[in-house]
Chain A
Amino acid sequence: MTVAEAEVSHDGIHDPHADLGDAGNYLKATKGWKTWAFTLDHKRIGMMYLASVIVAFLVGGIMALLVRTELAHAGETIMEADMYNQVFTLHGAIMVFLFIIPSIPAALGNFFLPIMLGTKDVAFPRLNLGSFYIYVFGTAFTVIAIVAGHVDTGWTFYTPYSARADNSVIWMTMGVFILGFSSILTGVNFIATVHKMRAPGIHWRRLPLFIWGIYATAVIQVLATPVLAITLLLLTMEKTLSMGIFDPALGGDPVLFQHFFWFYSHPAVYIMILPGMAVVNELIATFSQRKIFGYMFVAMSSVALALLGFLVWGHHMFTSGMSEYSTMVFSALTFLVAIPSGVKVFNWVATLYEGSISFASPMKYALGFLVLFTIGGLTGVFLGILSIDIHLHDTYFVVAHFHYVMVGGTVFGFVGGLHYWWPKMTGKMYSERVANIAFWLVFVGFNVTFFSQFILGSRGMPRRYYDYLDQFQPLHMASSGGAYIIGIGFTIMGVMFVRSWFNGEKAPPNPWASAGYEWMTTSPPHPHNFAIDPVMKRGPYDYHLCTEEELWDGFPEDFVPSDR
């Protein structure tokens, strides 16, 4: 393809200088609450998801600070043991089911999947709105359980404790059951969209890596979530009808619950991390002005993780009383997961080689992701090794490990993506200076909080403890201090985004000089994403095929290299 052809396709998509007024802005094209509540526009649904998951993150974050405040000192600090057990349960359940799982796929995915495929909307727009309301409905059940009830089972709902606990556990599990359907329907919608709705010119080897990651996630959502639904339904039946399924007092098997639960929840770990990795692909490519090294290896590693994720659930149960043979098989399979994860990290680092690397705030989160996910991944190897896992299982080492993956990985991916796409979603820029301050607070605070937990864990501090022996005091204190630094960082970030929403400078169509398809349209996008149906004549990372005008037009002065 010649530069001239690219020019034609570029002009065919949009003219960044053409002002269509409010009609060309999905936020303002129609007005009134009904145009939001009954919208079929994937962008508006994405924004409503975004608002919901941010509220969930706020509530879950407050729970986290309560947990860390209680643990700052041994003994009772601000609450009793029973209250503490409810608070850590809510922290886990809210963060997992209401925040992390829907965060990237349902909010950012909904917004950008159709745009990055050059299409008008997802395959089933009504189903898409339906899944949002199912999410709201499921959340309502959860809120009822929190407000009216007494849920202290931990987010894993292990039997027989949960089978004997307060009946509000039923509300909670029904809430999670309903949330599962939202997740399944979003997955079905995305799979259909990726297969059938790609714009002319976007063949599988030109699919943005963000889409590959979301696609792999959608496959897991569709295949694994029903198992969680079945498990929680069985638990509800056991509690309401006294059927003996998991409770040994009724003739059930408590270890069976763990198998069922992790058969969903391990793949769910990949529902959480794959989208984070997916975002990081886009960030690294854009801010190094370079196609991701080993594109097909990175794309296929997402698919490999999705498939392997189904085979390793037993590694959560090495001390549970499972047979030694299953233990051996699960340990061996667990090591295989390290391979595609490693491939991704190696390829990301290789992408930086010979790039032109900008350190704008989204890229800081991507590089932070690389550091933190590497630590999270390597400590996963400790836990896969059977003899070491016996010592580390159910200690703070595990807590630190999955926070490095879930927060250092997924949340950094989500927040990086939010910074990256904010100008596109809202049409506003934010203060880069404030964004940098928030990044450093979150990054440093995160490491202080969770690195100390690795040492606590390997020294033998068990998890889900309200109180602890004096010997663990200094590190717990450090961990709580770090949590407050994270809290301050996120507060500053929140204020920054709110100010940007109301008073931000107008964003250009392509503020980061990206070759990605989503930057070809206006900021914020047209209600139909593109004024004219696009035909893609180059890949989303073909920087060498982009014109100067395509990349740098409207680029903020601060980032433009002086020779351009």
Chain B
Amino acid sequence: MNPEGTLQLPPQMSTIAPDVDWMYYFVYWVSVAFFVAIVGAMLYFMWRYRRRPGQKAKPTGHSTALEIAWTFLPVILLVYLFHEGFSGYVKGIIPPDDAIDIRVRAMQWNWEFEHRNGVIDEMNMMRVPVNTPVRLIMSSSDVLHSFFVPSLRVKRDVVPGMYSTLWFEATTLTKPMCQSDADCNETRVGGGFESCIENRCVSNCDSDLDCARTSGVALGVDWGAAYAMNSYSCSSHQEGERGECVLPVFCTEYCGAPVGIDRSAERNSNHATMMADLHVVTMEEYEKFIEEGPPPPPECAGEADCAAWGEALYNSSGCIACHAVDGVRQQPAPNWKGLLGSNRAFVEGEDREADLNYITQSIREPQSQIVEGYNNVNMPPYRLSDRQIQAIVAYMRSLDEE
């Protein structure tokens, strides 16, 4: 197990990663040998037989033995490579019987994860227990997507109209365990930013580069800034906010960008930013999450109607991709400022006041009541918990109070 990765490969954080990497480096060195042999011979001949006085070309002979040798000897190597690659692949596609299932729904440009008992995590937030096989059952509601976590060495397309599956067993917590703040800070070089919360080191980051550095340090590895290419990313991409270091889930099947709206820089606004934050947690923590649902952020602990949580959900769930909150822009989706309590006229001709029930229905079944002027807007259903919707309504109210 190689938690810090190498120049060519990201950290190994799943059970299959060491096998994949062994194979990668085996082929790498075989390739280096072939390259040196071919280019070495080429360079030597270039020097030895360079055109100069007296260097006259000799007519080309023929050697059937040589031709047969370099046609058929590589076949033996290639058969071996195929065999090893295929056995590794089989290991990677057949999940163990005791794997726990997680449903993954992909949509332009968000990931949704549903756990046991119908517990749905926050949008673009994925929690998995450490040292436990996890099977993902994935579907897409619009175009092709692909689920990819470099450090786990897994990838599978998510195809509309069919289910695809993959499995992995994460072997490393995204945050190392600790007993005290001193434990966390001991491993850091040059000062303590980390604290020990519930036995896990928590570091803050402003950028992915920070994460790469701090996580490398937290794992006991000291890298120069130039090679700080760890595969951790900073969970929050909102300016001015600090996030936690997590593993990014990428979408690797091209899925476009919104037309005519400049949200390029924001998370989950196009193919390039269709990411989810993967947290590898302890089994106890995972069970607690299944019991209680997605927890509110620390600043909202114990508060029922927390606008800060609503705002965080607005950013992280993808609402921000279409809904503005400035009270001005109404396209492509209604502005949230001034929405609460207003009268909504539907295309069918009815109307209704935008109260808590209306908001809940609009989030969970958006196609059931389409407001005039939004016929062509195709908002997917969002399965947020009651507490989360309450928080969003609190956020809307706070917008109106500004």
| A contact set with B: CB distance below 8 Å | 75-76, 80-82, 84-85, 150, 152-154, 158, 160-161, 164-166, 248-249, 253-255, 288-295, 297, 319-321, 324, 327-328, 331-332, 335-336, 338-339, 342-343, 345-347, 349-359, 367, 370-371, 374-375, 378-379, 381-382, 384-391, 393-395, 455, 458-460, 462-475, 541, 543-544, 559, 561-563
Contact = CB atoms under 8 A, between A and B. Distances in A.
Contact of A460 (B23, B28, B142, B250): B250
A391 B153 contact: yes
Nearest to A374: B38
Interface stretch (B44-52, B294-302, B333-341, B394-402): B44-52
A460 B150 contact: yes
Contacts of A351: 60
For the complex, would chain B's binding face be called helix, strand, loop or mixed by DSSP majority? Answer: mixed
Interface string B1-30: 000010111100000100110011001100
B8 A474 contact: no
B92 interface: yes
Contacts of B148: 394, 460, 462
Contacts of A331: 82, 85-86, 89
A561 B85 contact: no
Contacts of B88: 385-388
Interface string B378-395: 000000000000000000
A470 B212 contact: yes
A562 B52 CA distance: 8
A466 B45 contact: no
A462 B264 contact: no
A51 to B, nearest CB: 33
Nearest to B257: A81
A241 B87 CA distance: 45
Nearest to B164: A321
Contact of A164 (B42, B93, B143): B143
A294 B66 CA distance: 9
B271 A464 contact: yes
Interface string B118-149: 00000000000000000000000011101010
Given A154-B254, A351-B60, A357 B50 contact: yes
Contacts of A464: 254, 271-272
A563 B51 CA distance: 11
Contacts of A543: 57, 59
B209 A335 contact: no
Given A370-B42, A391-B20, 12 more contacts: A84-B264, A254-B160, A290-B60, A328-B86, A331-B86, A335-B81, A352-B46, A356-B51, A387-B86, A459-B8, A467-B273, A474-B229
B153 A355 contact: no
B114 interface: no
A165 B258 CA distance: 11
Contacts of B97: none
Contact of A290 (B10, B59, B253, B264): B59
Contacts of B229: 459, 471-472, 474-475
Contacts of B160: 160, 248-249, 254
B271 to A, nearest CB: 6
Contact of A324 (B74, B90, B252): B90
Given A331-B85, A342-B70, A349-B42, A161 B153 contact: no
A372 to B, nearest CB: 10
B35 A471 contact: no
Given A255-B159, A459-B231, A352 B45 contact: yes
A84 B265 CA distance: 13
Given A253-B161, A357-B49, A387-B89, A468 B150 contact: no
A33 B123 CA distance: 64
Contact of B74 (A154, A165, A342, A559): A342
A343 B70 contact: yes
Interface of B: 5, 7-10, 16, 19-20, 23-24, 27-28, 31, 34-35, 38-39, 41-42, 45-46, 49-60, 62, 66-67, 70-71, 74-75, 78-79, 81-82, 84-93, 142-144, 146, 148, 150-151, 153-157, 159-162, 164, 207-209, 211-212, 226, 228-234, 248, 250-260, 262-265, 269-273
B70 A161 contact: no
A381 B81 contact: yes
A355 B161 CA distance: 60
A378 B34 contact: yes
A378 B31 contact: yes
A338 B78 contact: yes
A297 B8 CA distance: 36
Contacts of B256: 85, 152, 161, 165
Given A249-B160, A561-B53, A385 B41 contact: no
Contacts of B151: 460
A355 B45 contact: yes
B41 A375 contact: no
Nearest to A337: B78
Nearest to B230: A471
8 contacts: A158-B144, A248-B162, A295-B60, A356-B55, A382-B27, A387-B92, A390-B89, A543-B59
Nearest to B9: A458
List the 6 closest A-B pairs by CB distance, nearest first: A460-B150, A387-B88, A248-B161, A385-B85, A470-B208, A386-B89
A85 B257 contact: yes
B304 to A, nearest CB: 36
A561 B51 contact: yes
Contacts of B146: 319, 394
B67 A469 contact: no
A153 B256 CA distance: 7
Contacts of B263: 81
A321 B157 contact: yes
A289 B57 contact: yes
Nearest to B254: A464
Contacts of B232: 471
A291 B60 CA distance: 6
A359 B46 CA distance: 9
B93 A474 contact: no
Contacts of B154: 390
A356 B56 contact: yes
A367 B143 contact: no
A292 B62 CA distance: 10
A354 B57 contact: yes
A462 B250 contact: yes
B82 A80 contact: no
Nearest to B226: A474
Contacts of B19: 387
A437 B74 CA distance: 37
A293 B208 contact: no
A348 to B, nearest CB: 8
A390 B153 contact: yes
A379 B31 contact: yes
A330 to B, nearest CB: 11
A390 B16 CA distance: 12
Nearest to B262: A80
B24 A292 contact: no
B57 A343 contact: no
Contact of A374 (B39, B84, B86, B208): B39
Contacts of A384: 81-82, 85
A335 B84 CA distance: 13
Nearest to A156: B254
A96 B143 CA distance: 24
Given A385-B85, A391-B150, A76 B45 contact: no
Contacts of A289: 51, 56-57
Contacts of B9: 458-459
